[in-house]
Chain A
């Protein structure tokens, strides 16, 4: 038990300082947003047969795509999610659905995973498998790649927010803080969030620069560019005035 928790903790620390927020396939949180998720039939670890839509109808769903044989990001992702959700006291109208995208995973594997994270009796959490995993991940835009050398999937740490109508309203790639999880919970509950900026290295002259750590916007160079034409025309007016009068004097 202790061993199972220490390893994820080390991995979280490692991820936070090195590959924080770095997905394997670039920033693609906007892919398939506002599209309907595939209504995959799922089997929960208690043996109940249901579907994603039926689950979402009861409460909006946060889907975590993992697999039990993962030696990489899956455990840190679930652990971080569990901790962040424990800190969230504002809105409890959600369910977490942990679905395996590895067809080798069976109900006992998922049951074991739930047990390891001490989530088997948590009413907010569901662990499940599906026989329609390819259609499900394709509707999300999630693309795990099998690496035969290490016998592992190369994949993003991905959380998908699905609202009660079955629409993907938000995605979070990478290990994200509790503020961003709050935004996701708000989003799946159809609570309007004004904006946040997706990071981009090649955008210059932004009007505002978003800091993902503080969650605040700071004025950027772009605002200065909006004021620039007025400043330039005043200067131009002064220069023309000087020029025409100097010419007269000469």
Chain B
């Protein structure tokens, strides 16, 4: 029996995430329209929007995955409600601080806040420290949440069991549910990248407050930035996958998926390789030793292939020539996995050193990460939100409306992404607030991208209204 308090907290997470998502999409559309010369934003406003858009998206889809994992984990172990609430409060405070530093203080160094950009003059002197503090607040809340969930799992499972190492021997006596294995692998990865963020912030604060007496090493800061940024952006996808491993079969009316030796091996490999894949962000940093560049390419392949392989295999086995109870939730999971795979392929293409010489900092980069986020991770979480909101309601959804919502999402999403991919293949650079005439296709593609993103937004708004109504009911219900 899921505790009423957890239902309410999860409902609150769902509403907040969807609300912030709508705002962030609007910022994204405004950026594309500005690039297409449809509207005129000042460069500072454009980069402020870009900073808010990127960081808010990362934050909300990370917490969405965490909220889903926390909710389902209650089936196996007792989770800490105070930790969940602390994370919620810290996330809200962190996002508000972030928005104040950007919208009021005009901090506009991008979501990667690459060194030494944060130390350049912003509109307000307090913008940089407030921005750094906002990241610190978010990180502390999330770290507490992660540690509490890890502690919860370790109370029930031993270290070997939680990583499913017993499957590497013959005839394992104890069972580790795939959900527990993937959650643990992911949470350990998240803790590691949050610790990287702690070191990063300490170094940035040290430079900021020393007033020039201490200067950071640019290579170290870039490595730490991507250790944190790249890893968390990937780990949040795995939170969604943990949910799929638990719910896909259940919603489809199939037997629960079980851990096997190859599932255990694939996910254990993923833990190691995902922590070293970030080196592919430094291919253009020629001071980085060549060995780390090669490790970056190998880890990028090895981090994505085993996890994707076993997940796709499991889904194909589950649906191939069998009768499936298709609902909007498992359809979203299914399409989300396809989006994740396509985006993953785009990422692996870019992470190949020889290709990166051509694709680096072109629109190919937002193309692939928007694919596995907008058409992957977002759908994982939407699937969970939809399932969650119907768990505590007797009303069934209208099938026609479901099809319409899905159409808007898929049609809008594909068009929006295609504009990015074509731009990337045409070597159009990313992060330009305005495109010069040397890129004749850029403006047209930006308008096309912005238009399709608007269709995607309509789909999200339909989901938002539908799911939020139910979640607000749960939030204010008296039932246990």
Contact B223 A207, beta carbon cutoff 8 Å: yes
Q: Is B287 an interface residue (CB 8 A)?
A: yes
- Chain A residues contacting B124 (CB-CB under 8 Å) are none
**A226 and chain B: residue at smallest CB distance:** B223
List A contacts of B199 (CB < 8 A): 225, 228-229
Smallest beta-carbon distance A207→chain B, Å: 5
Is the CB–CB distance between B219 and A248 below 8 Å? no
By size class, the interface of chain B is 20 to 34
Contacting residues, chain A, for B155 (C-beta < 8 A): 244, 248
CA distance A237 to B191 in the complex (A): 10
B151 touches A240 (CB 8 A): yes
Measured in the bound complex, the distance between the Cα atoms of B287 and A194 in whole Å is 7
Nearest-neighbour CB distance to chain A for B349, whole angstroms, equals 26
Closest Cβ of chain A: how far from B289's Cβ, in Å? 8
Q: How far apart are B298's CB and chain A's nearest CB, in angstroms?
A: 17
Chain A residues whose CB sits within 8 angstroms of the CB of B220 once the complex forms: 205-207, 222, 225-226
B227 touches A226 (CB 8 A): yes
Cβ of A6 within 8 Å of any chain B Cβ, yes or no, is: no
**B191 and A203 within 8 A (CB):** no
Q: Does B262 contact A (CB under 8 A)?
A: no
Residue A87 lies at the interface, judged by CB distance under 8 Å to chain B: no
Q: Does B192 contact A (CB under 8 A)?
A: yes
List A residues 55-95 near B (Cβ within 8 Å): none
Whole-angstrom distance between the alpha carbons of A62 and B224 in the complex?
A: 40
Task: Give A230's nearest chain B residue, CB to CB.
Answer: B192
Residue B328 lies at the interface, judged by CB distance under 8 Å to chain A:
no
Q: Does A202 contact B (CB under 8 A)?
A: yes
Q: Kindly identify which residue among B147, B193, B227 contacts A236, using a CB–CB cutoff of 8 Å.
A: B147
Q: Does B275 contact A (CB under 8 A)?
A: yes
With an 8 A cutoff between CB atoms, is A233 at the interface?
Answer: yes
Report the interface size class on chain A: 20 to 34
Residues of A within 8 A of B224 (CB): 225-226
Q: Which residues of B contact A245 (CB under 8 A)?
A: 154
Contact at B286–A205, with CB atoms within 8 Å? no
B392 within 8 A of A: no
The answer to whether A195 and B195 touch (CB under 8 A), given A226-B223, A237-B150, is no
In the complex, what distance in Å separates the CA atom of A243 from the CA atom of B151?
A: 9
B191 to chain A, nearest CB (A): 5
B228 to chain A, nearest CB (A): 8
A187 to B196, CA, bound (A): 37
Instruction: Kindly list chain B residues whose C-beta atoms are within 8 Å of the C-beta of A203.
Output: 215-217
Asked if B203 is at the interface (CB within 8 A of a chain A CB), the reply is yes
Instruction: Give B193-242 interface residues, CB cut-off 8 Å to A.
Output: 193, 195-196, 199, 203, 212-217, 219-220, 223-224, 227
**B188 proximal to A (CB < 8 A):** yes
With both beta carbons as reference points, the residue of chain B lying nearest to A222 in the complex is identified as: B220
A236 smallest CB distance to B (angstroms): 6
**How many angstroms from the CA of A240 to the CA of B146 in the assembled complex?**
12
What are 22 pairs between A and B in contact, CB < 8 Å? A194-B287, A195-B287, A203-B217, A204-B214, A206-B217, A206-B219, A207-B219, A220-B217, A222-B220, A222-B223, A226-B223, A229-B193, A229-B196, A229-B227, A230-B192, A232-B192, A232-B195, A233-B188, A237-B159, A240-B154, A243-B151, A248-B155
**Which residues does A use to contact B, with CB under 8 Å?**
194-195, 200, 202-208, 220, 222, 225-226, 228-230, 232-233, 236-237, 240-241, 243-245, 248
Instruction: Give me the 8 closest cross-chain CB pairs, A-B, nearest first.
Output: A222-B220, A229-B195, A229-B196, A233-B192, A206-B217, A207-B219, A195-B287, A244-B155
